[in-house]
Structure 1
Amino acid sequence: MTDTTATEFETQPLREFTERAYLDYSMYVILDRALPHVADGLKPVQRRIVYAMSELGLSAAAKYKKSARTVGDVLGKYHPHGDAACYEAMVHMAQPFTYRYPLIDGQGNWGSPDDPKSFAAMRYTEARLTPYARVLLGELGQGTVEWGPNFDGALQEPERLPARLPNVLLNGGSGIAVGMATDIPPHNLGEAVAACSHLIDRPEAPTAELCEHLPAPDFPTAAEVVTPRDELHRIYERGHGTVRARARWEYEREAAQIVVHALPYQVAGAKVMEQIAGQLQARKLPMVDDLRDESDHDQPVRIVVQLRSKRQDPERVMEHLFATTDLERGYRVHLNAIGLDGRPQVFSLRGLLTEWLAFRTETVRRRLRWRLERVEERLHILEGLLTAYLNIDEVIAIIREHDEPKPVLMERFGLTAAQAEAILELRLRHLARLEEQKIRAEQGELERERDTLRATLGSEERLREQVRTELLADAEAYGDERRSPLVHREPARAIDETELMPSEPITAVLSQKGWVRAAKGHEVDPVGLSYKSGDGYLDHAHGRSNQSVVFLDSHGRAYALPAHTLPSARSQGEPLTKRLSPPEQARFQAVLAGEAQGRWVLASDAGYGFQVPLQELLSRNRAGKAVLTVPAGSAPLAPAPVPAEAQGAELAVASSDGRLLVFPLEELPEMARGKGNKLIGIPAQRLRSREEVAVAVAVLPAGAGLYVAAGKSGKRLGAEQLEPFRAARGRRGVQLPQGLRRVARLAAVPAGGG
């Protein structure tokens, strides 16, 4: 039995092992799966698909071949992963609505803009490379890139493709790795080449200058890029941000219809139709009568929004749809790619183009060196052949007389092994005098090419000019016009829900137990409505169906609900606690409605209050918002509306001791929240013991009288009769006549009302 010692095993802490394993996995995902390389703009699977297709001879001029054949070669030779993921990557490179410059020319069902994943199985589709793919593959066999072993070491594959254009920008790409992601939008080929050319001329040019040539992404669709230029400059400077694209449309006035004819990138027409139809069903688009999809082969995108009449504003309708549907969409920009040093980083536009130009310059240098070596090798051979032609009879004699003529030729004429081998491989028909002339002509041509190559390799300026010339030639061959126009548009704003509602008069009614309902019109008798057993009328307010209704609770908190959402007065309503969340022990005490700019007087029975615009009481929070600070043991009074014409208005305040004070309303400040200012002077001891408190307030328009309700009786006091009660704010007030001292309510009486 063999003794196994501990030295045969490696022991390490679990923490170190898991950390290293996770980091290895992370780097694999980042470098070999998710992020494109700045050199050719491709991820490994994309690069292997394009290379495998070139090895299968599937050039743009070749016949189509089944996609399954390509996928099989990719998986079997270079990419040992799932066939579904590989085929999907191949499909994306063939979809003209996904790639700005597709690399694969597909035949069959390769998906549609409405459903990019609706492509047929790979056994049904066929594919070949597009002419644009030559940009990536044309220089592959010319010593331009490094090669490495495939996954099993049986074959060699290129580590990068020698891209003649900045494909990393042209087709963009997206991916999610471990701890990082990339989102590079597509760009126009001609604009990218113009920016590269400018950077070759001015290597220190800032990003702002480059943006003059490459101003914005250029998506495969014709939707407008509406991000402002200064924001685009910041995005390209930082390397991240958001670009917004908006659908293009036109208004056919005679038919009163809006026609959308270009959708944003990666937006499905069916999804947009569903979003608009949902708003129609929810009655959020009352100005729209119908919605149709009239797209066909001749017009791939034609979505018709039929308006109810020619009086509707199409600009406002589309602004709402841009804000609420995918007719306008934002695209995250994150220029994250693997640099020439093999490390991922977020580039600015200038950094990305500088990095790619460094790669392209080195690629051209390597190609020229490779070509120079081939030229010099051929000149060397031609020199040997010319020697043979000048001594043809002696060469033939040596070949006929010697069993091993190669060393003899080398010794006799001072030839190298390669030259001697080339002479021995000559065919008899090439011994004609005409061949000598051809050799001399080829020699002269190659010598001129050699001199040009040496001059270019020896001058950085000439090398840069060579790069620029090739870029411009490729732009001429493959460039096209910008598809996504860059247009300045104001930010879209959705139509407020209240704007969509009809403006009808309503009366909001609040019951003693906190139930609410709304009746149409202002002529309703809220007291005479039917209430649940044990419940009864508490308060009501007049407003309109497109306004908000505000509720005030006993803690001084305000809550708001859209008027059109309140239940009908034909029922007994619903409890407010179903939709609002007041504090425990709080009860609703008042309801307010009207114009948002309208002012109200809020006060507590401690004798303090202030003016507040109704809009300050609006809150979308279920828990409302604190508005009136109510001292401990006190309670809010019924709010009093301030008339639109408040010039000369007065505020009347009554206490439980039967005292009345009238002072100018302008003495009471306007506040958004708080305790307020003193309205009527109540002795502190009497207030603390609750012997005397404020019981009612009322705002009196200029020249108006006052109705004082006391018990079951009441009395109207004319403007002249209020003179004894007028004083400055905060005074003690004057006692009312004996029968009116138990004040229950105050109300303004219009001038001349008796």
Structure 2
Amino acid sequence: MSAPSSFNHEGLERLPLRVFTEKAYLNYSMYVILDRALPHLGDGLKPVQRRILYAMSELGLSAAAKFKKSARTVGDVLGKFHPHGDSACYEAMVLMAQSFSYRYPLIDGQGNWGSPDDPKSFAAMRYTEARLTPYASVLLAEAAQGTVDWQPNFDGTLEEPVLLPARLPNLLLNGAAGIAVGMATDIPSHNLREVARACIHLLEHPEASVADLCRFVPGPDFPTAGEIVTPPEELRRIYETGGGSLRQRARYELEQGDIVVTALPYQVSGNRIMEQIAGQMNAKKLPMIEDLRDESDHENPTRLVIVPRSNRVDVERLMSHLFATTDLERSYRVNMNLIGLDGRPRVMNLAEILGDWLRFRQATVRRRLQHRLDKVLERLHLLEGLLIAFLNIDEVIRIIRTEDEPKPVLMARFGLTDAQAEYVLNTRLRQLARLEEIKIRAEQDELSAERAQLEETLGSSAALNRLIRGELEADAERFGDARRSPLIARAAAAAIDDTELAPAEPVTVVLSEKGWIRAAKGHDIDPGGLSYRAGDRFLDAARLRSSQQVVFLDSTGRSYSLPASGLPSARGQGEPLTGRLDPPPGAHFIAVLGEETARRLLLASDAGYGFLVALETLYAKPKAGKAVLTLPTGAKVLPPQPVADPTNARLAVATNTGHLLVFPIEELPELPRGKGNKLIAIPTARAATREEYVAAIAVVPAGGSLTLHAGKRTFTLKAADLELYLGERGRRGRKLPRGFQRVDGLVAD
């Protein structure tokens, strides 16, 4: 409940500031919603558009009239109906004249009315000329037939229509867009013939669902010929809820190996597309494109030519990238928010919009017929009086000649009404000719037949619906056209990854003990011979292609990945990995991995557990990486071992106490993460105190040998010697010879 107002001694009302501001803002909001931003369901127009069309009709600017300066129209609109800015009014007028903005333009413009590349490049209103299009008659033809309510203009000197009597649901045909206070509207345009068929179906089947109507209106139809690639089920969901989004994609064709874009999405500029593609070419992100040309002209309004570098370029993949990264594909918001027949704004679905519009149309046609019936009855009444006077012409003439006030005498003598007597007195002498009776009776017969037809139509809902259906079919035949925007469900566009775009050059990625990283071109680099910072030295290296991802493993069992093409050059000493990655506190990097993504790796801890993993599984986009190897308490990560052929290779596991076990590596599972399976048996007590742990592991290929390193001493086990240490996975293994029981390294040959 608002605070009570009070009046001071001067009679001025006093209100609390909170109450005044709340009321003022609410009034402003409602004004913007109802009188500026949202279209009305009946004629699909905003007030400024409605006033422009009505002012042009009052100026006689029909489709058959001569053009008049746009400034004349704008002046009439501002001076008579819409006292706002002239530039805003002219822009609204321009929009209704642009065939690339309106599906069915309402204004026929002469002069520069803008272009698809720059819709706001239109000339000033003193230069352009305009008149109404034939389609505008759909909105204006019945305005003078008693079909609309009228309201005073802003100064009360003129009257303007509250709504225009639209013969078609213009709201869906041309769509609408606007932003109000707290709400907005985005209604796409549709095809006239499709919408008319849906209206006819709903007229005959009032209980039809949205799904039924979608058989006739499968989707929007934009002024441009780009493909609508949103799946049918998503479009149906938009029509069921009144909101959502849809995508439109450019159309292209191949001409002698060149890609020619022939149609763009709605409100997309060809110049903007050229700038976006050229920008990627300059940034070296489109190496597969050799040239780009704009060959658009009057005959071909849209013709953008993209020349691939060779015939080996995957055109579909390239276009998918361009759809994802440029305006060759656009997403459009749909919010069918409008002012309903009750004068309130709300979001409506397709069935509600068409159903309410048909009720509006039925009321409009009923008013038109009733208006015509009233005119017919009035004319029949006058003809009846005229016929009486004609049959008694001598007496009528005598009364007129002799009486000072002939009207009351005529009324009394022949039983005429005031209107009939007035009409007789105003009749010209030439109409008293001998053949006039025949004309009067013929007109009476014609009007009587029309009266009977009008009364029959007004008295029958079925007859009224048949009339509306016939008018819908006639208008659809006259103004309808084929669909411009084909509905073709396509897969979602996907951008090409930067690693795919970068040239696949051989590189060697070098990691130092302190965690510094760099990349050298080529695979013939000696990583150990590079210069390192004081106190730092070589730790690990990986040879791969610059288009691949580099994987790093830290001491906590987490993996990370970075594109090789983005690493610093080996001409310097690199940069710390911690500047690009975010390992846990106290962790340090222990390995760098690359090579082929199809290769398998063995991840293991010195607690005697491990598993196989695909290199691509270790890719991790986040800076914090992802946990891969779970470490038991006190355990450490062993250097990962590449596995070229898991079916024939063997795994050699040696502990610091001199136990060696060899078993087929295919006994290990391939996992994405975890602790792994037991590799070699270590007594629990000795493992807990770290008295015994795995000192080294090695993957031995089929028929290969194994070299043991114990300090400065080496010992090689041939393939036959390895058979002595062969056993089942998880067993204790056998003791190595004396002198090699302190193994600190295994190398497979």
Which category of TM-score, normalised to the shorter sequence, fits these structures? over 0.9
Q: Which residue of 1 aligns with 2:453?
A: 452
Partner SS for 2:680? coil
Question: What is the TM-score when the length of structure 2 is the normalising length?
Answer: 0.94
Asked whether the equivalents of residues 288 and 308 of structure 1 are also in contact (C-alpha less than 8 Å), the reply is: yes
CA RMSD of aligned residues (A): 2.3
Quote how far apart the aligned CAs of 1:697 are: 2.2
Where 2:744 maps in the other structure, the secondary structure is strand
- Number of aligned residue pairs: 744
Residue type of the partner of 2:154? F
- 1:251 alignment partner AA: L
Match among 174, 179, 199 for residue 176 of structure 1: 179
- In structure 1, what residue type is equivalent to 2:681? G
Aligned to 1:656: 656
What amino acid does structure 2 have at the position aligned with 1:455? E
Question: Is 1:45 matched with 2:34?
Answer: no
Give the corresponding residue for 1:102: 105
Deviation string, structure 1 residues 463-516 (Cα, Å, up to 9, x no partner): 000001111111122111211222343333333333334444332211122222
Counting only pairs closer than 5 Å after superposition, residues 23-62 of structure 1 correspond to structure 2 as 23-62=26-65
Give the residue type in structure 2 aligned to 1:204.
E
Structure 2 CA distance, aligned partners of 1:110 and 1:740?
91
Deviation at 1:376, TM superposition (A): 0.5
Q: Structure 2: how far apart are the matches of 1:28 and 1:654?
A: 84
Give the corresponding residue for 2:728.
728
AA partner of residue 711 (structure 1): G
What is the CA distance between 1:394 and its match in structure 2? 1.3
The aligned residue for residue 398 of structure 2 is 397
Within a 5 Å distance, the mapping from 1:425-574 to structure 2 comes to: 425-574=426-575
Instruction: Name the CA distance, whole Å, in 1 between partners of 2:154 and 2:555.
Output: 76
Q: Is the 8 A contact 2:210 2:351 kept in 1?
A: yes
Q: Secondary structure at the match of 1:261?
A: strand
CA shift for structure 1 position 259: 0.8
Q: Which amino acid aligns with 1:513?
A: K
Q: CA 1:6/1:621 → structure 2, altered by over 3 Å: closer, same or farther?
A: farther
User: What's the CA shift string for 1:541-568, capped at 9, x where partnerless?
Assistant: 2222222110111222211111222233
Residue 64 of structure 2 is aligned to residue 75 of structure 1:
no
Question: What do residues 78-134 of structure 1 show as CA deviations (whole Å, max 9, x unaligned)?
Answer: 223322222221111111000000111112221111111222222332222111111
- Which one of 116, 124, 128 corresponds to residue 127 of structure 2? 124
1:212 aligns with 2:206: no
Shift, 1:658, TM fit: 3.4
SS at match of 1:291: strand
Q: Contact conserved, 1:651 with 1:700, CA < 8 A, in 2?
A: yes
Give runs of aligned pairs for residues 148-187 of structure 1, distance below 5 A.
Answer: 148-187=151-190
Supply the distance in 2 between the matched residues of 1:4 and 1:314 (Cα, whole angstroms): 78
2:148 alignment partner, one of 130, 138, 145: 145
Alignment of 1:629-640 (within 5 A): 629-640=630-641
Separation of aligned partners in 1, 2:17 and 2:684: 74
Shift of 1:630: 3.0
**Bigger shift: 114-123 or 357-366?**
114-123
Residue 322 (structure 1) aligns with: 323
Contact 2:7 2:14 (C-alpha < 8 Å) held by counterparts = no
The 1:551/1:6 distance shift into structure 2, 3 A limit, reads farther
Aligned counterpart, 1:307: 308
Q: Which residue of 1 aligns with 2:425?
A: 424
Larger mean CA deviation between 396-405 and 574-583 belongs to 574-583
Which residue does the alignment assign to 1:260? 261
SS at match of 2:544: strand
1:525, distance to aligned residue in structure 2 (A):
1.7
**Residues 693 and 24 (structure 1), Cα distance of their counterparts in 2 relative to 1, 3 Å cut:** farther
Worse-superposed segment, 418-427 or 179-188: 179-188
> Is the 1:251–1:314 contact (alpha carbons within 8 Å) kept by the matching residues of 2?
no
| 1:660/1:734 contact within 8 Å kept | yes
- Aligned partner of 2:656: which letter? S
Distance 2:678 2:247 in 1: 54
d(CA) in 2 for partners of 1:558, 1:14: 62
Q: Is 1:696 matched up with 2:696?
A: yes
* Structure 2 residue identity aligned to 1:662: V
Question: Counterpart in 2 of 1:752?
Answer: none
Gaps of 5+ in 1: 750-754
- Among 66, 72, 75, the alignment partner of 1:63 is 66
Residues 125-156 of structure 1 show CA distances to partners (whole Å, capped at 9, x for unaligned) of 22221111111000001111112222333322
Q: Is contact 1:554-1:635 (8 Å) kept?
A: yes
Shift of 1:385: 1.1
Give the 3-state SS of the residue equivalent to 1:95 in structure 2. coil
- State whether structure 2 residue 633 is matched by structure 1 residue 667: no
Partner of 2:321: helix, strand, or coil? helix
Letter in 2 for 1:392: I
One-letter amino acid of the structure 2 residue matched with residue 154 of structure 1 = T
Distance 1:6 1:742 in 2: 108
Contact 1:146 1:160 in 2 (8 A): yes
**TM-score, scaled to structure 1:** 0.94
1:244-255 mapped onto 2 (5 Å cutoff): 244-253=247-256
Counterpart of 1:708 in structure 2 is 708
Q: Which moved more, 1:727-736 or 1:577-586?
A: 727-736
Q: Counterpart of 1:227 in 2: which secondary structure?
A: coil
Deviations along 1:375-420, one digit per CA (max 9) or x if unpaired, are 1111111111111111111111111112221111111111111111
Cα displacement string for residues 183-214 of structure 1 (whole angstroms, at most 9, x for unaligned residues): 21111111111111122222222222322222
In 1: Cα distance, 2:80 partner to 2:707 partner: 97
Q: 2: CA distance between counterparts of 1:68 and 1:687?
A: 94
Q: Is contact 2:502–2:546 with CA below 8 Å preserved after alignment?
A: yes
Out of 12-21 and 730-739, give the one that drifted further. Answer: 12-21
The corresponding residue for 1:288 is 289
Query: Mean Cα displacement is larger for which, 146-155 or 181-190?
Result: 146-155
**Counterpart of 1:405 in structure 2: which amino acid?**
P
Equivalent residue of 1:213, what SS?
A: coil
CA contact (8 A) 2:7 2:13 kept: no
Preserved contact between residue 8 and residue 14 of structure 2 (Cα < 8 Å): no
Unaligned 5+ segments in structure 2 are: 1-5
Q: Secondary structure of the equivalent of 2:561?
A: strand
Deviations 1:306-356 (A, max 9, x none): 112233333332232222222122222222222111222222222211111
Separation of aligned partners in 1, 2:160 and 2:739: 107
Q: What code does the residue aligned with 1:292 have?
A: R
Q: In structure 2, how many angstroms separate the alpha carbons of the residues matched to 1:634 and 1:7? A: 91
Seq. identity, %: 67
Between the aligned partners of 1:694 and 1:607, the Cα distance in structure 2 is 6
Give the alignment of 1:596-607 within 5 angstroms: 596-607=597-608
Structure 1 residues 737 and 59: alpha-carbon distance in aligned structure 2, compared to 1, 3 A threshold: same
Equivalence for 1:337: 338
Contact 1:647 1:702 in 2 (8 A): no
How far is the alpha carbon of 1:574 from its aligned partner? 2.6
